[in-house]
Structure 1
Amino acid sequence: LMPIRNLLQKIPNLLLRLKPCLLMSPISVSQFLPAELMKFDVVIFDEASQIVPEDAIGAIYRGKTIVVAGDDKQLPPTSFFLKSLIEEFDWDKIRDEDVEVFDSILDECIGVGLPIKTLRWHYRSKHEELIAFSNHHFYNGTLITFPSAIAKHEALGLKLVYVPDGIYDRGGRRDNIKEAEVVANLVFEHFQKYPNKTLGVITFSIAQMTAVEEAIEQRRRHQPEFEHFFKEDRLEGFFVKNLENAQGDERDVIIISLGYGYDPQRQITMNFGPINKAGGERRLNVAITRARERTILVTSIKSSDIDMKSTKAEGMVLLKKYLEYAEKGPAALNLPKQKQGEFESPIEEDVANVVRQLGYTVVPKVGYSSCPIDIGVVDPNSGNYLLGIEFDGATYASSNSARDRDRLREQVLSQLSWKIHRIWSPAWVARRESEIKRLATAIEEARKLQTKVERQTANFPSENCTEDLPAKADVHKVQFSGINKIGFPYKVHELNVNFNSHVKVSSSRSGMVVPHIEFYREENRQLQSRLLEELVREEGPIHFDVAVRRLASAWGLRRCSPKIVQVVKDALNLLLVSGKVITKGYFLWPPDMREVPVRVPVADVPESKRALEHVPPEEIERAMQLIVQYALSISVDSLIAETAKVFGFSHVKEKSRQRLYDIYKKLLFEKKLECTNNIVTLLNK
């Protein structure tokens, strides 16, 4: 076989015609791409804070333009990182001079005065508690973050889990076994309560990472039913990593294990591994900003246990403050008074008084960043926010463009469950009574909508549907046969979207043409609701996940993201309010359907074969009754197996088998079937 470098030297032009965009590490560029033969229009460095200049030079030489993307508040390149890959360290014996922090290519570019474009809007965190600490202590409040309408929920925000009996084995394994066991318990508890949410664990040391992995492995041996949660998936799968390897990862929920603490002699030293070494504060920033929805901090010490007289390391100072933040909440940030809730103008105060007279509590300046929501109207039942009221004041004026003010901001807030009502100051002054009526109507509609949607969609999964979507089938070419004994052929309804899935939009500044996905546009929500109603009418009852994939597939989108799921939820909410669709669990039903027929998959129509968890329980019940009716009598195991075969499965996994068995037990309880000596028959009435 020819070495890769030799091959690329022989086909430099062909390679770039076949693959005009190459994804490589800086070192690979230097090793494999001939410098004189292969040049690029643009070279982009990602996570540039971790790339040393000497590694980047080869790629820079090969590019006409460079784009250096990174965060100088996150992981720097260090000699410690390189050394820790091949050596075991005794953290207690590491000296500060053992860890050298180098300048990165990002630092060098900033130093020579290259133009800087700062990305200020923060989208990842679905609860502001997850980013407020970093925004305050690392970014000086310059990030624009967005509060969630769900003020308090066990599945959102920052949670502290204190392990009072945790012991750090300083002279031995250098881990905290008790804390690792608590982390393992939290992992399995998470998969039990939130099976559709992604999870990761970050530890402060390699030794603690190993301890957590061992604790989880022991639980896996005793609970094999959880095994499918540990499948390999680089982007969304479960992981256990130490501080050095977590940058770039994100998950719905992150569990952080501190590990360090009191030793068996109840002594504690201020040596917390890389945290109190050079660049330790940047490692901390990485760890605490990996979660989208929830961070769980597991620690055997409290903030008061960290003695700042023994160390001046910036990482330790911020770790102490972060522990205090986890203990006390946002109050520990000591934000300026205006950010803690004051009215900006007399009009805002007047509106707040009107809302109070309507019987609701108001919270001024909701949020911790420089662009809070002017007034939040609190739901008296849940304590969450019913409505956000925004004015044409300082927050509105601070946006650079109408697009930011009137579209993007409201779009982001709607994804965080906000309903926004805007009041224009001139209108309030000139038509106060009519504006009060409009405000009262908005609050009442928000209250009704929240009550109805919470009742019907509380159990909907918020999973990331990342599996590939099936290709669209030409259902008109399939000749459906007649009804067989057990069921009807599943008829796949084709959804037609009357425009291209991607519309090219020309940028006025650069003249570049960029794709814009029409699926996310707010003006298409009515169309999506109509298509969803059509899908439910023709194929209902249908599982929510299937509806998401079918609707996305109709737009030509091959993969589902959390953003796509949210769009479909918004479209569904419109149908729920109007009563055009009802829900039973995760399934969407036509409102007039009383009994669901058994629908079986059709050959050559991949969309007709549903996963067993996507088949309504009512349909499975009916299939079981028909099987028993035609068989006259059948064993329990055979009934389960034959039911699976009806829906196209010759073998089923344990989870699916358990679901079928639970439905069978329900039929027994409802006296629709009876079982004697393991033989199932129809109940004689």
Structure 2
Amino acid sequence: MLGKHADFKINILRKRLVDSNARSVFVNAHPKKSKVKIDLLSLSQISTAFHNEQFLNHLLFNNSFEINTVIDFNTNETESKKTFHLFRKNEAYKNEFNLDPIGLGYPLLLIKPYNKKQYQLTPIFIWDVTLKQFTSEPSKYSYKINNTESVSLNPSLKRYLKQDSNEESIQVIEEIKNNPEELIRGLNALLKLEGEKPVSKEFLLKPIIALPENLDEEFMVKNQKLINNGVLGLYANTKEPIIADYFTLEEKTIPCHIKPSRDINSTQFSGMALDHSQQGVIRSLLNRRNTIIHGPPGTGKSKTITAVLNYALSKGQKCLLVCEKKSAMDVIYDNLEDLGISDFTVKITDVKKDRRAIVDKARAIIEIQKKGIENIFEKKSIGPEPTIEKQELVERRIKNIAITIELISKIKRKLYLPLLDGQSTYSDLVLKNQNNDQKKLSKILKLNVYNFEFSSSEWNHICNDLNNLKLIIVQNTNPYETYYSYLNKSLLSLEKETFFQEKINSIYRDYFRDLKSLIKEWKQMGEQFSTYEIKYFNYIKSENLKLQNLFNRYTYLKKKTTDSLLFDPEFVTQLERLEPLSQLEKIFEVLGQMKKEIEKFNLLIPFHNYITKLNRSRKECFIQFCKIKDFEKLFHNWYIGNILEKNYVSDLDFNGFEKGYFDLVEDLDKINNHYSALAKKINKSDQISAISSFERNKDQTIEQFFSKRSSTVRTKLPLHKITRDSSNIFLKLFPVVITNPSSCSCLFPMERGFFDFVVFDESSQLRVEETFPALLRGKISIVSGDTHQLPPSNYFREIEKSNDAIPEEENTSSLLEFCKNSSFNNHYLDIHYRSNHPDLIQFSNHAFYQKRLIPLPPKKKYRPIQFIAVNGLFTNRTNVKEARTIVDYLSNKIYSNESLGIATFSQFQQNLILYMILKKTIVNPKFKAKINDLKKRGLFVKNIENIQGEERDIMLISTTYGPNKLGKFNQFFGPLNIKNKGHKLLNVVVSRAIKKMVVFSSVPEKFYESYDNHIKLNGVIGKGVFYAFISYAKAVSENDVKKKQKILDALYESSSVKRSITNFKKEDLIDFTKYLIQLLGENSTSQIDWINQYELGGITYEIMLKVKDNIKLLIDLNGKEVNKAYEDYLYDIYRCKIAQNSGFRYYRLWLSNFYNHPQKEIKKILEALND
């Protein structure tokens, strides 16, 4: 995966991670100007609780002790507002990552990290804290230390201490019991390691030390290393376990597991019904390939990942799902619950806090399996319970499916095989040719099929010849309308033009009159003598002197003219086959024509020079073109028809909905049901065996191993020791683990291939340095993400300047980008399921996804986007009028039975809307009740940088920006203007809506209507694509279809990469449809209207037929080739289903069927229309 520079790259990744971690509260807790760090002394400014000398004892060890504070937004008091920011950020962590990270680090240790010039204040122990907002008084907040058995040592401090100490001494103080005595004992153990004097219990009674803005020398001299102060902050997932993995990779040779221990399901069936693009992922895994799932918004990425997890379970294999977002974890876990396999799955976001829930689940499963009763711990799966069939029957079904699909695929390959000019396929040629009356055409054209190869090269040569011939005729003359056929071709050169002229003049002068006279006499003589004598006297000598004289003159004139070298030898030969009189007449005619058109001689030379170079077949075409009207069109039909006959394709009776040999839907459902049931059976059996084995081989019961709390006899095991136990009991109970990168490194050993599958969700937002160790833990890696969505964000990070530069070599920011640059298979999800109306996703589809996405058709007609011009002012990084308008819209237009999301283009606008909502809930009980109902349905207010992964029925979007107080519009769009990021932020925001999007904008119209100039100049980035979105929203809102399409076309044409879309040629499809309508009309009295390339959602059908009573029939020409055989079959079924579900009738017209038996297909189409 890394190649020969592995050590170097690991070193770079570790340094990058260590540098990032150095800015976290775990390492550097000094509040400085941070909005989300508050030291204990600063709290004294907003609380009276500090006046008690027992304050620290109460705070840390009194479970009922609280610190209350009131925030006044009308003052500039920074410390008061920090509580508000801390609360908001903590709530964001809960919503985004299912983490409640607010904590208190106490006391502080003054340390100088390795290779650092400055001292830092690092917390020693960390208490969990609850920060609550009073619902009755929203400006009032309370802090309270959580009641826990133990308190953990700061993991980052632990690594610092290991540099100078051995690991055994550190293990003693990894955590302490939550009481004053244990705290002092733990502190003294650490101080001893640092060579500092011990402290007594009175340390907790000493005054809290004020922290200067900078840790200068004076502060160092006055204080010991132990500082009696603490910092409230967001102690979110520490990166220390990941850093430890990197040290392991650098310092040790890690175990490597390559082959799976078992593989019960060796098929491509995951146990779930998938669409064609989702199924491609499973096929890749069957081939044991590392895979990237490119999942644009709403394309069923979570369902695909769920299928991967179910596939792993059906194989009897272990799977790790790594992601950070709570929403992503919840969706996939809920999917597993619906499948009835969440018994085998655990979700861990915080190794310490989630221990109890994990142990409770393990104990419940152990109890159930021991008793052999039905599991009541988890939800029932949706729908009928799948059953396991006999293996022989399943294998027979799979074999039958494989044979049938291969047969369909074989026909498709022939239909789409290029037969002419490297592009025109069998199907293209049927559209061009339509009928197959080859015998009739052969007679008309007088062409011999045996002289032709019927190849692309020959076709190209002949087409080129005919084009050149047309040019020759235009510039010169049609030679076969002259004497060219009779002329001796050896004369056709400019050098012999004079000879020709002299010769024809001479013969004309000497013999033309004699010929004319002889012909006249001959005809007169014919009235006197028998026809027989006249006709055959050149064969039978006559004794009549007059006839002998006639014959002698005939012989003389014929010899003089034909021996003159003027005539083509073949012409002379053909003369011999005529009667003598006819010979004379023909010679007389040709001489007259030559004399009359003597000046055309040089016009025949270009034609002759060209034709002499041609082979027999090309020469035939060249000549017949000159002789036959409409030769080119007739020849094309003849030639194409012969190619079609040469490449015969048999009939295929597969429509997509008919019961018959090719209908595999029922078999597919039964096979997937089998493997779904098998997944449950295998893993339930594994759980029972693991429980039994554990109790046979261990000196404690399994319940004791999974103890809920410590006792006087036995200390409960932390979760990371449970997961790493040599019995491997944890993964036998829970073969699917859903967790984040840090928890992964904490829970599982750094062994390559430790899991059979490792899956990453939202990988565009995962930093490679944080996920690389987890990536190595998989035998096969599946990375899911979208390059057109957000890169790793700093929204949840403390950003401080660092003097320690990180090498930029191979600085791949996201895991997705890293894997794209590796040898991963790429799979693209195509069908967009989220939006109820295509207009909600078509902007992104055209701007960013090259029209790849296939949205579902709308179930009803409505306008999915509403545009509201607010015309507010953008001041102090907010737009008050827009915020107020949104809150009013929320109050008056939104119903509480739908889910709602509000998106802003800045964090300041987000906070303003939250504040306005909060203020209104205080004074308006009805509004408060609505907000509470909406919160139950997932109401959120987010900004452009933290909205990824969300979806709601209705999205309200504040575009935020507008003119300033002076009326000037500065076009400063913050992160939207970032070249490689801005358009991704916009894409995420505008693709969240399920039913409706309401866009509130203060951008002046003259600016956003200039989108076309910007995107033509700079591409689909920056202000251009932002303006285009506002214009698009307005166009959809006003039902301006023409303008909407103009915007979409401009976006697609300006996108960096345009996808190659293969369609039948427009003119060929039109001609074929007209011919089809003609045949239908000959067999029906109904008036049939038609449309080509009819769009239904994101699917285009080649033909739509409409008859009276609004009956509509959609016709697909052939089955489609988009991926592989099985996936193509699924796509064909899907196209049929979409048409029928949308109220259309459907027919798949195989062009080979039509060409072979047109009347039979016409009858079937009429039956489909009249059914």
Q: TM-score, normalised by structure 2?
A: 0.32
Residue 49 (structure 1) aligned with residue 785 (structure 2): no
Contact 1:146 1:413 in 2 (8 A): no
1:374-410 Cα shifts (integer Å, max 9, x gaps): 35679999xxx974612225x7455754533442233
How far apart in 2 are the matches of 1:214 and 1:352?
64
In structure 2, the residue matched to 1:299 is 1001
CA deviation map 1:619-662 (0-9, x unaligned): xxxxxxxxxxxxxxxxxxxxxxxxxxxxxxxxxxxxxxxxxxxx
Cα distance per residue 1:567-607 (max 9 Å; x no partner): xxxxxxxxxxxxxxxxxxxxxxxxxxxxxxxxxxxxxxxxx
In structure 1, what residue type is equivalent to 2:889? Answer: L
Which residue of structure 1 lines up, in the alignment, with residue 412 of structure 2? none
Match of 1:411 in 2: 1137
1:246 aligns with 2:947: yes
Verify: 1:153 aligned to 2:153, yes or no.
no
Show CA shifts across 1:241-269 (max 9, x none): 11111111112222211010111211111
1:185 aligns to 2:888 (yes or no): yes
Tell me which residue corresponds to 2:102: none
Contact 1:124 1:292 in 2 (8 A): yes
Task: Determine helix, strand or coil for the equivalent of 1:390.
Answer: strand
The CA distance in 2 between the partners of 1:253 and 1:376, in whole Å, is 33
How far apart are 1:222 and its partner, in Å?
5.9
Paired position in structure 1 for 2:18: none
**Structure 2 Cα separation of the partners of residues 71 and 209 of structure 1:** 25
Aligned residues of 1:9 and 1:34 also touching (Cα < 8 A)? no
Specify which of 713, 718, 722 is matched with residue 11 of structure 1: 722
Aligned partners of 2:1102 and 2:1117 also within 8 Å: no
Q: 1:140 aligns with which of 837, 850, 854?
A: 850
1:147–1:372 Cα contact (<8 Å) kept: no
| Pick aligned residue for 2:874 from 134, 143, 168 | 168
> What's the RMSD between the two structures over aligned residues?
4.2
> Would the alpha carbon gap of residues 220 and 27 (structure 1) be closer, same or farther in structure 2, given more than 3 Å must change?
same
Whichever structure has more helix as a proportion of its residues is 2
What is the aligned partner in structure 2 of residue 270 from structure 1?
A: 971
Displacement of 1:233: 8.3
**Change in 2 beyond 3 A, CA 1:251/1:373:** farther
- Could you tell me whether the CA contact under 8 Å between 2:752 and 2:779 is conserved in 1? no
Aligned: 1:74 with 2:789: yes
1:64 partner amino acid: K
The 1:166–1:235 alpha-carbon spacing in structure 2 relative to 1, beyond 3 Å, is same
Relative to structure 1, the CA distance from residue 237 to residue 305 in structure 2 (aligned partners, 3 Å threshold; closer, same or farther) is: same
**Residues 203 and 33 of structure 1: CA distance in aligned 2, closer, same or farther (over 3 Å):** same
Other structure's SS at 1:316 match: helix
- In the alignment, the residues of structure 1 paired with residue 752 and residue 779 of structure 2 have an alpha-carbon distance, to the nearest angstrom, of 14
Question: 1:275 Cα shift?
Answer: 0.8
Whether 1:316 aligns to 2:1023 is: yes
Shift of 1:208: 1.4
C-alpha contact (below 8 Å) 1:26/1:55 kept by paired residues: yes
Larger radius of gyration: 2
Does residue 124 in structure 1 map to residue 834 in structure 2?
yes
AA in 2 matched with 1:367: E
Q: Give the conservation status (yes or no) of the 8 Å contact 1:254–1:296.
A: yes
- CA deviation vs aligned residue, 1:464-484 (integer Å, no higher than 9, x gap): xxxxxxxxxxxxxxxxxxxxx
Matches within 5 A, 1:213-362: 213-220=914-921, 224-225=925-926, 227=928, 229-231=930-932, 236-278=937-979, 279-302=981-1004, 304-306=1006-1008, 314-326=1021-1033, 327=1035, 328-334=1043-1049, 344-349=1069-1074
1:62 corresponds in structure 2 to 777
Q: Distance in 1 between matches of 2:836 and 2:990?
A: 14
Deviation at 1:225, TM superposition (A): 4.0
The 8 Å contact of residues 197 and 253 in structure 1, kept in 2 or not, is answered as: yes
Q: For residues 160 and 364 of structure 1, do their structure 2 counterparts lie closer, same or farther at Cα, with a shift above 3 Å needed?
A: farther
Rounded to whole Å, the distance in 2 between the matches of 1:200 and 1:86 is: 28
CA distance in 2 between counterparts of 1:277 and 1:185 reads 32
Q: 2:867, 2:1000 within 8 Å by CA — same for their partners in 1?
A: yes
Q: Take 1:379 and 1:198, find their aligned partners in 2: how far apart are those partners?
A: 41
- Deviation of 1:62 after TM superposition, in Å, equals 2.9
**Separation in structure 1 between the aligned mates of residue 1108 and residue 837 of structure 2, nearest angstrom:** 20
Secondary structure of the residue aligned to 1:147 is coil
Indicate conservation of the 8 Å contact 2:838/2:1097, yes or no: no
Give the secondary-structure state (helix, strand or coil) at the position aligned to 1:367: strand
Matched residues in 2 for 1:63 and 1:277: separation?
Answer: 35
> Distance in 1 between the 2:1162 and 2:1133 partners?
28
* TM-superposed deviation, 1:50: 0.5
Is the CA contact 1:43–1:63 (under 8 Å) kept in the aligned structure 2? Answer: yes
The residue type equivalent to 1:162 in the other structure is A
Q: Whole-Å Cα distance in 2 between the matches of residues 166 and 15 of structure 1?
A: 57
Matched residues in 2 for 1:273 and 1:388: separation?
Answer: 50
| 1:304/1:66 CA distance change after superposition, 3 Å | same
Superposition map of 1:324-403 within 5 A: 324-326=1031-1033, 327=1035, 328-334=1043-1049, 344-349=1069-1074, 364-367=1092-1095, 371-375=1099-1103, 387=1112, 389-393=1114-1118, 396-398=1120-1122, 400-401=1124-1125, 403=1129
Identity percentage of aligned residues: 27
Aligned twin of 2:222: none
Distance 2:963 2:887 in 1: 21
**Which residue does the alignment assign to 1:22?**
737
Following superposition, the deviation at residue 361 of structure 1 comes to 7.5
For 2:891 and 2:997, the matched residues in 1 are separated by 16
SS at match of 2:998: strand
SS in 1 for 2:729: helix
Is the 1:8–1:15 contact (alpha carbons within 8 Å) kept by the matching residues of 2?
no
Per the alignment, do residues 40 and 432 of structure 1 end up closer, same or farther by CA in structure 2, a change over 3 Å counting?
closer
Amino acid at match of 1:410: C
> Which residue is equivalent to 1:627?
none
Q: Which residue of 2 is the match for residue 113 of structure 1? A: 823
Q: Deviations over 1:306-341 (max 9, x none)?
A: 5789996923221122223223323322279999x9
Q: Is residue 210 of structure 1 aligned with residue 911 of structure 2?
A: yes
Mapped to 2, the partners of 1:73 and 1:35 lie a distance apart of: 32
Matches within 5 A, 1:518-529: none
The secondary structure found in structure 2 opposite 1:133 is helix
Is 1:200 paired with 2:929?
no
In structure 2, C-alpha distance between the alignment counterparts of 1:37 and 1:420, rounded to whole Å:
54
What is the rounded CA distance, in whole Å, between the counterparts of 1:304 and 1:189 in structure 2?
30
> Do the aligned partners of 1:77 and 1:102 also contact (CA within 8 Å) in 2?
no
Is the CA contact 2:766–2:814 (under 8 Å) kept in the aligned structure 1? yes
Which residue is equivalent to 1:430?
A: 1159
Q: For residues 397-427 of structure 1, what are the alpha-carbon distances to aligned partners after superposition, in whole Å with 9 as ceiling and x for unaligned?
A: 5575453344223334556x34342252656
Equivalenced residues, count: 413
Q: Provide structure 2 residue ranges, at least 5 long, that are not aligned to the other structure.
A: 1-148, 153-350, 353-716, 801-810, 1036-1042, 1054-1060
Q: Distance in 1 between matches of 2:719 and 2:938?
A: 34
Q: Which has the higher contact order (CA 8 A, sep 6+)?
A: 2
- Using the TM superposition, give the Cα deviation of residue 429 of structure 1 relative to its aligned residue in structure 2, in angstroms: 3.9
Give me the whole-angstrom Cα distance separating, in 1, the residues matched to 2:881 and 2:965.
12
Q: In 1, Cα distance between the equivalents of 2:843 and 2:910?
A: 25
1:90-105 pair list within 5 angstroms = 103-105=813-815
Alpha carbons 1:143, 1:369 under 8 Å: kept: no
* Structure 1 SS opposite 2:841: helix
User: Structure 1 length as normaliser, TM-score?
Assistant: 0.52
